[in-house]
Amino acid sequence: GSIWAMISLPEVINLTLHVGMLNIVFVRVSTTETDRRLRIFHENLKTAEKLQTLDQGSAEYGVTKFSDLTEEEFRSTYLNPLLSQWTLHRPMKPAPTAKGPAPDSWDWRDHGAVSPVKNQGMCGSCWAFSVTGNIEGQWFLKNGTLLSLSEQELVDCDGLDQACRGGLPSNAYEAIEKLGGLETETDYTYKGHKQTCDFTDRKVAAYINSSLEISKDEKEIAAWLAEKGPISVALNAFAMQFYRKGVSHPMKIFCNPWMIDHAVLLVGYGERNGIPFWAIKNSWGEDYGEEGYYYLYRGSNACGINKMCSSAVVN
């Protein structure tokens, strides 16, 4: 788990015993670090309990793979506070509103437009995953092929963004246009840290022509999604550190809609036991939330989910 990433080498003594074919590794961790992690874990349990008690939806909060990280460690490792710096955002053309009224529910996973859940690792590259997810959907809807596209290309080659230190979808679209497109995940695999750009033109698997900013009205967002495909969105992810399952509806005190710090992909919406939700594809692996997905209350602009909706355009 994440605890090992926090330990410096001198604190760890490895004794490897070869027992037949079995390698048994004994790890002794300095007790101060163990104690500190346990204290953090207990504090986090209290926070999860508070979220649980005050949740207005049906979510379950509790122990997750991030439970031994402080809020600050979690933010600086997995989140992207750059998103809240509104002045940095590149203005985009507004998207035309969707034609018809939205169906009651819709999920692009049922229509083949969504690749499997990926894992950004210990790198603030959520912005890249949000954008590739959107483009995967747009490319599928234009060309009928679902590709898994490269986030590492953006981490390495997008000079407008800051790799693992964060980025903005509005910049990423522009960088992709400048580069000429995205390679596939297979051709340009994810490493989770910045490397020298290794992009080659001839390996471009998908391209985009422009990008659009989508309405901040949740009804219009739903209609656009059902008609046009998965949407790159961003939100305040405070409650996500402790989310396990169900429809999350944190109170505003936990989830300031102006403090946006995580980019994700909106793939669908509907109702669960009378609670309206957004289905959100996250990039923290399949062992996060509900098989890699986060479900958030729909209809009250919860956690600022409506503030930063955008999409690439593939002609």
The number of helix segments (H) and strand segments (E) in the chain equals 7, 13
99 in Cβ contact with 107 (< 8 Å) = no
Give the closest residue to 212 by CA, choosing from 305, 311, 138.
Answer: 311
152 in Cβ contact with 291 (< 8 Å) = no
Angle between helices 126-143 and 169-179 (to 10 degrees): 60
Query: CA–CA separation, 89 vs 301, rounded Å?
Result: 20
CA-based angle 192:113:241, to the nearest 5?
A: 45
Active site residue 42: no
Amino acid 176 reads I
Query: CA–CA separation, 196 vs 315, rounded Å?
Result: 30
Mapped onto helix, strand or coil, the DSSP state of residue 80 is coil
Enter the tokens of residue 183: 């390679």
Active site residue 126: yes
Active site residue 249: no
Give the closest residue to 90 by CA, choosing from 233, 212, 236.
Answer: 212
Which residue out of 262, 303, 306, 309 is catalytically annotated? 262
Query: CA–CA separation, 139 vs 118, rounded Å?
Result: 18
Query: CA–CA separation, 105 vs 123, rounded Å?
Result: 33
69 in Cβ contact with 77 (< 8 Å) = yes
| β-strands 275-281, 293-297 pairing | antiparallel
Which residue out of 44, 80, 123, 126 is catalytically annotated? 126
Question: CA torsion angle for 213, 155, 140, 180 (degrees, to 10)?
Answer: 80
Query: CA–CA separation, 96 vs 293, rounded Å?
Result: 28
Which residue out of 171, 282, 306, 309 is catalytically annotated? 282
Amino acid 181 reads G
- Give the catalytic positions in this structure: 126, 262, 282
